[in-house]
Each structure stands twice: as C-alpha cells, then as structure tokens.
Amino acid sequence: MTPSTAAARTGDLAESGPAALGHVVTGELDLSHRIILYLDDISVSFDGFKALNDLSLSIDAGELRCVIGPNGAGKTTMMDVITGKTRPDAGKAFFGQTLDLTRMSESEIANAGIGRKFQKPTIFADHTVFENLELAMKADRRVRRTLFAKLAGDERDRIAEMLRMIRLQDRADRLAGLLSHGEKQWLEIAVLLMQQPKLLLLDEPVAGMTDDETERTAELFLELAGKHTLVVVEHDMAFIAKIARKVTVLDEGHVIAEGPLDVVQQDPKVIEVYLGR
C-alpha cells in the first residue's frame, strides 16, 4: 500500500478536505465585475455554415438566464463553446474576468466550475439515489478522498439537503434505474450540484417530463437561482414563463432580443422567427 492510500484509508486525507487543492490548474474565478460568463462576437462555422454568428452574451453571477430560439438557432452550439467541446473560429469567451475558455480543455473547464446537464442522464442506474449523490460528492476533486472513506456528518447533511431540494427524500434507497424520467433528471441535476459548479448549463431540462414534473422542475430552478448561476435552454414556453427573469433570444447564431419575457414576447423579430409560428 502506498503512503497516500494508507492515509486515505485511515481518513487523514479526508480530514485535510478542500485544503488539498492544487488541481484547479486554471486559477481562481474572478467575479469582481459580477460577470460570470462573457461571450463576445463568437462565431462557429460548420462547412461554411455559420452556426454561431457574432454571438455576444454576458451573464451575471447568480442569474437564472433563459435562452430560447428556433431549432438550429445555435443554442446547443453555444453550450458546446462554453464547455470547450467546440472551438470558436473567432470571438472571446471568458469565465469570470480571467479564465479564457477558448484556451482551456473540456476537463479544465469542468474543473474550473462549469457544469453541464445533457439530456440523457449519466447517473449510475445500478446504484441507489443516495449512492449516486455520495459518489458525486467523492468525485468532487476539491474534496480528495477515496471511495472507501466513511461519510462525515456534514457530508450526510449535504446529501440530505440535496435530497430535500430535489424532493427525493423518500427515494434515497431506490435504485436510480427505477426512477421515473423526471426523477432521473432531478438526480442528474443534484449530481452536478454536488460538485458545486459555479455555472450550470441546462439544455432542454424538461423535455419528456410530465406537466407535474415540469412544474416541480420550475420550483427547483427558482430555489437554485441566486445560490447558483443557471443558463437554461428550453422550448417549453409555459416552463420558461414560470422561471423567466432575463430572457435571451437566439436566431441564426445571433442574439436578436434580450430582456424580460413580456418584452421579448412583444418584439416583432421574435414573433416572426419563433413565437408567432
């Protein structure tokens, strides 16, 4: 046994907790200007087709921003750029004041605190809800420890608080694979939150949910707003209406309107390309 695994098994490393940093290679997030995400004139071409065309966007820390727009507007491509999956041909992308997303790898971006929810949940179907949250917490590399280390009381509290938030307290011991579609989506969000992302991107989070599940998801997002920064892409306008603060409308890879929902809904351009159809 190496000294480090021995230490981990006796819990020494676990005690050292977040102090054992070192892997956030990209430095600390600088939110001195309140802006957590800044995109400036981003363009992305696929075989000459401009999926993003001079896209500029700025998100404040703690915002719940909704992004809407027709199919093919570039919403998912925008998330691909933010997470480093797609490199822009031109433009700037900054996380906080100093982290240049266009120069960071996908894993560096994830480690710097940008989480992304994909539509297909990546939870462990053969583990319980509780275990999924436990594994997610231990996967948080800021809290270095082994999977064998015992949970401390405050960690149990964190999981309990998360279960309450996603309203799965009664499902803690259920296998994740047996959850309903909506419950799986909430667990997936909770798994992401256990890793304490500073910015969370959610692409069509209520797709396939029942009306009741959609309603509960709206309540969850409203509870998360302020504590977290969320960027939510959705076509479900009833859902958007429930959670909307500032709304950004994309069309053909460009922002065509931005503001409160009732204002963008009256915008002739928005009505023409999206809401009026």
Ligand X SMILES: Nc1ncnc2c1ncn2[C@@H]1O[C@H](COP(=O)(O)OP(=O)(O)OP(=O)(O)O)[C@@H](O)[C@H]1O
Residue 75 within binding range of ligand X, rule CB under 6 A:
yes
160-165: long-range contacts, CB 8 A cutoff, minimum separation 24? 162/133, 162/190, 162/193, 162/194, 163/129, 163/130, 163/133, 163/190, 165/190, 165/220, 165/223, 165/224
Q: Quick one: which of 22, 71, 120, 161 contacts ligand X (CB under 6 A)? A: 71
For residue 116, the partner it binds in ligand X, Mg ion, none, with Cβ less than 5 to 8 A by kind, is: none
**Shortest Å distance, C-beta 54 to ligand X:** 15
Name the one range near Mg ion by CB under 5 A: 68-76, 84-92, 147-155, 164-172: 68-76
In whole angstroms, how close is the CB of 154 to ligand X at the nearest point? Answer: 39
Between residue 39 and residue 58, which ones bind ligand X under the rule CB under 6 A? 46, 51
Number of residues that bind ligand X (CB under 6 A): 10
CA 223-226-229 angle, to 5 degrees, is 100
- Least distance CB 51 / ligand X (angstroms): 3
| Range 112-131, binding ligand X (CB under 6 A) | none
Q: Which stretch binds Mg ion (CB under 5 A): 74-82, 159-167, 190-198, 255-263?
A: 74-82
Cβ proximity to ligand X, 48 vs 268, nearer residue:
48
User: Among 76, 132, 195, 214, which residue interacts with ligand X (rule: CB under 6 A)?
Assistant: 76
Amino acid letter for position 170? D
Considering the complex, what minimum distance in angstroms separates the CB of residue 73 from ligand X?
4
Closest separation in Å from C-beta 46 to ligand X: 3
Residue from 57, 74, 188, 264 binding ligand X (CB under 6 A): 74
Answer whether 65's CB lies under 8 Å from 59's CB.
yes
Of Mg ion, ligand X, none, which one does residue 115 interact with (CB within 5 to 8 Å by kind)?
Answer: none
- Check residue 76 for interaction with Mg ion (CB under 5 A): yes
Q: Least CB distance from residue 44 to ligand X, whole Å? A: 8
Q: Say if residues 52 and 43 touch (Cβ distance below 8 Å).
A: yes
Distance of CA 43 to the CA centre of its chain: 22
- 102-134 burial, b for 16+ CB within 10 Å, e for fewer? eebeeebbbbbbbbbbeeebebbeeebbbbbbb
Q: Which is nearer to ligand X, 67 or 168 (CB)?
A: 67
Among 71-79, 147-155, 193-201, 205-213, the segment contacting ligand X (CB under 6 A): 71-79
Site for ligand X, rule CB under 6 A: 46, 51, 69, 71-77
**Residues lying near Mg ion in the complex (CB under 5 A):** 75-76
